[in-house]
C-alpha cells in the first residue's frame, strides 16, 4: 500500500507515521502545505491512500483538488471537529479526529482495505464542505438542550453549560449552578451543534465553554489544565495535540 501524509504540523505527521508503522503500513511521503502538495502530485504517481489534514499552513487542503485531479482514497484528519462533520458523513468520507486514536486508525485502515477493491472513485462535493469550513459563523447552532430529571424535562441553555463531557458511556452537561445533567446524545453528535467560537473540544472527553473558564495553568508534557468556575469533578486537561489550536481559539 502506497500511503502519504499531508499535514502542516511536522510532529503530528511523524506521530501518525509511527502509528501507521505499528499497523504495518509504511508512509512513503510527508507533505506540509498546499503548494508543496500540488507540486508533488504533478510530478509523482498518485498514492493508494492519503491522510489529509484539512487546515494547512497556506490554506485549506481542498485547494489541492482545484489544481490536481487526485486519484487516491482519502482519510481526512482534523482537529476542527465542529466543522462539516455532517458533510463528511453525507459524502461518505472517512475522517479521524485529532489526536488520532490507535484503535480508530486501525479501523479506518481496515475499512479502506475492505472497500478498496469494489469502490469506484469517490465523488466528493468539496465545494459544499468548503462553504461550511470557510463560513462557519453563518451556521445556526443549538441554543438549548433538554435533559430528563425524574418525570420532568429540564431545559438547559447552552450559555449556562460550563462543559460537556463523557463518562461511563454517557454524555453530560455541567452547568453554572453546579448541576450535571445526562443528555440523550453523544459528544460526536454535539460536534456539529455547538458554536465553535464558544465551545472547544479540548480532549476526547471534554468540550469547554470559553465564558466559564476561570483559569488556565501549565501542566505536564506541554499540556494545559483548565479550571472552570464551578465544575470540579475531574481535571480538564487540554491534550498536547490540541494545545496550539486551543491557544488560537482563545484569541
Task: Please state, in angstroms and rounded to a whole number, the distance separating the CA atoms of residues 54 and 64.
Answer: 11
Least confident of 11-15, 79-83, 241-245: 79-83
State the pLDDT confidence band at 92, using cuts at 50, 70 and 90: very low
Report residue 90's pLDDT band, with 50, 70 and 90 as the boundaries. very low
pLDDT of residue 135: 52
Distance between CA 41 and CA 104 in Å, rounded?
Answer: 27
Name residue 226's beta-bridge partners. Answer: 216, 236
CA 177 to chain centroid, in Å, comes to 29
Question: Which residue would you say has higher pLDDT here, 73 or 171?
Answer: 171
Cβ 77 vs Cβ 100: under 8 Å: yes
Question: What was the pLDDT predicted at 57?
Answer: 84
Q: According to the model, what pLDDT value does residue 32 have?
A: 94
Secondary structure of 88-155 as H, E, C letters: HHHCCCEEEECCCCHHHHHHHHHHHHHHCCCCCCCCCCHHHHHHHHHCHHHCCCCCEEEEEECCEEEE
Q: Note the pLDDT of residue 127.
A: 61
Q: Cα separation of 202 and 217, whole Å? A: 14
Q: What is the rounded average pLDDT for all residues in the chain?
A: 85
**pLDDT over 50 (residue 66):** yes
Mean per-residue pLDDT, 136-141: 62
Mean pLDDT of all residues in 31-54 = 93
Condensed to tens digits (0 to 9), the pLDDT of residues 181-237 reads 999 999 888 887 888 889 999 998 999 999 999 999 999 988 999 999 999 989 999
Average pLDDT over residues 61-74: 85
Residue 87 is predicted with a pLDDT of 46
Q: Do residues 229 and 192 touch, judged by C-beta distance below 8 A?
A: no
Residue 124 has pLDDT above 90, yes or no: no
Give the pLDDT score at 130: 60
Q: How confident is the model at residue 119 (pLDDT cuts 50, 70, 90)?
A: very low
CA atoms of 204 and 195, how far apart (whole Å): 17
Residues 90-93: contacts with CB under 8 Å, at least 24 apart:
91/122, 91/124, 91/125, 91/128, 91/129, 92/122, 93/122, 93/124
Cα 42 from chain centroid? 29
Residue 52: Cβ-neighbour burial (10 angstroms; 0-12, 13-18, 19+): buried
**What is the total residue count of the chain?**
251
With a cut of 60, say whether residue 152 has pLDDT above it. yes
pTM over 0.85: no
75-88: average pLDDT: 62
Given a cut of 60, whether residue 239 has pLDDT beyond it is yes
User: For position 120, what pLDDT does the model report?
Assistant: 44
Q: Is the pLDDT of residue 129 over 90?
A: no
Amino acid at each position: 500500500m502506497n500511503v502519504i501524509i499531508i499535514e502542516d504540523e511536522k510532529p503530528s505527521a511523524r506521530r501518525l507515521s509511527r502509528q501507521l508503522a505499528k499497523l504495518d503500513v509504511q508512509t512513503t511521503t510527508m507533505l506540509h502545505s498546499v503548494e508543496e502538495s500540488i507540486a508533488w502530485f504533478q510530478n509523482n504517481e498518485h498514492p493508494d491512500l492519503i491522510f489529509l489534514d484539512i487546515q494547512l499552513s497556506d490554506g485549506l487542503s481542498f485547494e489541492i483538488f482545484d489544481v490536481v485531479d487526485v486519484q487516491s482514497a482519502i482519510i481526512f484528519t482534523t482537529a476542527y471537529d465542529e466543522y462539516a462533520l455532517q458533510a463528511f458523513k453525507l459524502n461518505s468520507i472517512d475522517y479521524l479526529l485529532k489526536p488520532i486514536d490507535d484503535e480508530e486508525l486501525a479501523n479506518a485502515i481496515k475499512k479502506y482495505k475492505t472497500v478498496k477493491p469494489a469502490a469506484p472513485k469517490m465523488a466528493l462535493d468539496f465545494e459544499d464542505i468548503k462553504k461550511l469550513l470557510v463560513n462557519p459563523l453563518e451556521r445556526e447552532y443549538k441554543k438549548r438542550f433538554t435533559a430528563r430529571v425524574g418525570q420532568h424535562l429540564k431545559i438547559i441553555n447552552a450559555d449556562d453549560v460550563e462543559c460537556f463531557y463523557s463518562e461511563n458511556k454517557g454524555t453530560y452537561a455541567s452547568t453554572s449552578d453546579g448541576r450535571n445533567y445526562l443528555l440523550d446524545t453523544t459528544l460526536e453528535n454535539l460536534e456539529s451543534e455547538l458554536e465553535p467560537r464558544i465551545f472547544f473540544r479540548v480532549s476526547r472527553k471534554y468540550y469547554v465553554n470559553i465564558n466559564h473558564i476561570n483559569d488556565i495553568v501549565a501542566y505536564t508534557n506541554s499540556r494545559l489544565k483548565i479550571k472552570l468556575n464551578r465544575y470540579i469533578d475531574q481535571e480538564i486537561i487540554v491534550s498536547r495535540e490540541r494545545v496550539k489550536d486551543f491557544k488560537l481559539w482563545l484569541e
